[in-house]
Amino acid sequence: MLKVENLSFAFKNKPILSDVNFTINNGVIIGLVAPNGTGKTTLLRLLSGLLPHGAARLTLNTYDQQKQRTKYLNQMFFIESSNHLYQDLTAKDHLLYVKAMWHSSIDVQQVINELGMTSYYKVKIKNMSLGMKQHVILAMYLVSNAQMLLIDEPLNGLDPTSIQLFEQIFKELRQQGKSLLVSSHQMDSVGRICDVVYFLHDQKIQPLVNTGQDMMAEYMSIFLQRPQEQEAGDERANQV
Ligand SMILES: Nc1ncnc2c1ncn2[C@@H]1O[C@H](COP(=O)(O)OP(=O)(O)OP(=O)(O)O)[C@@H](O)[C@H]1O
Ligand SMILES: [Mg+2]
């Protein structure tokens, strides 16, 4: 269980989060949704200790992020994007590295098979397509066997059958009791897999329990400016 209390963050004078509080239980998939440049990746970086925060208190399965940092981080996995992979290493090199660092007992070859990576697990990252690298990243999450998985836009660049495979794997991870916080712009997938959606709006988290509603319509109602507001904005812009 991840507990976040009083999390605020700003880049210089650009506020991103303002006194955010939430708890993520074990065995759930939470969607993290907001327009480009709102702060989704920033939130994931804060939770994984890659960005400093002030007075917030973050605990993962009772371990305090600041006081018990190694234990906290050992139960979490986050890799932001394929830009953070090592260009001259293969998929398998990455998986063996994660297995060692996270003291995992997961069978690397089994993960390679499960994700359909048998034809390219010996290929270097620099020679892979975007979708192949997305598979490598998901494989790293599986191999880590961490309890809390922070996943930033995992569906980018995937073909339809890969999207289906990824969704199936997310559900299996939930079944195993893992917690997934998954950012995405793909509202149809979010609607299919998430138990709760965190809409990041005005520096706050707006949670919405998924009861099968149209997530795209929910997105529009939260983030789309209404025509009157747009016109008022245009009017102000014209006066400048
Ligand atoms: N290192 C940084 N220094 C200053 N500002 C930053 C830095 N990183 C991000 N920002 C700003 O913080 C805001 C949130 O960025 P972030 O990357 O978290 O957005 P995001 O919601 O993940 O967007 P996207 O959907 O495009 O990935 C943006 O306005 C961005 O310009
Ligand atoms: Mg981002």
From 18, 38, 151, the mutation candidate for ligand 1 (largest count of ligand atoms within 8 A of CB) is 38
Decide: 41 in ligand 1 pocket, CB within 6 A: yes
pLDDT of residue 109: 98
pLDDT of residue 181: 98
Nearest to 71 by CA among 176, 7, 147, 175: 147
Q: Whose CA is nearest to atom 17 of ligand 1?
A: 41
Q: Whose CA is nearest to atom 3 of ligand 1?
A: 11
Decide: 15 in ligand 1 pocket, CB within 6 A: no
- 183 C-alpha to center of ligand 2: Å? 8
- 124 C-alpha to center of ligand 2: Å? 25
pTM exceeds 0.95 for this model: no
d(Cα 240, Cα 238) in Å, to the nearest integer? Answer: 6
From 18, 20, 42, 190, the mutation candidate for ligand 1 (largest count of ligand atoms within 8 A of CB) is 42
All structural domains of the chain with their residue ranges? 2-75+147-239, 83-146
Which residues contact residue 94 at a Cβ distance below 8 angstroms, ignoring those fewer than 6 apart? 85, 86, 125, 136, 139, 140
Decide: 38 in ligand 1 pocket, CB within 6 A: yes
pLDDT of residue 89: 98
pLDDT of residue 228: 55
Supply angle C-alpha 153, 158, 162, rounded to 5: 110
Overall fold of domain 2-75+147-239: Rossmann fold (3.40.50)
pLDDT of residue 121: 97
- On the 0-12 / 13-18 / 19+ scale of CB atoms within 10 A, 89 is middle
Decide: 82 in ligand 1 pocket, CB within 6 A: no
pLDDT of residue 226: 57
- From first to last of its 240 residues, what are the pLDDT tens digits of the chain? 999 999 999 999 899 999 999 999 999 999 999 999 999 999 999 999 999 988 899 999 999 999 999 999 999 999 999 999 999 999 999 999 999 999 999 999 999 999 999 999 999 999 999 999 999 999 999 999 999 999 999 999 999 999 999 999 999 999 999 999 999 999 999 999 999 999 999 999 999 999 999 999 999 999 986 555 555 555 555 554
Backbone angles phi, psi at 147, to 5 degrees: -80, -40
Q: Count the alpha carbons within 13 Å of 174 in the hemisphere toward its beta carbon.
A: 19
- 152 C-alpha to center of ligand 1: Å? 13
Cα pseudo-dihedral 10, 16, 20, 25, rounded to 10 = -120
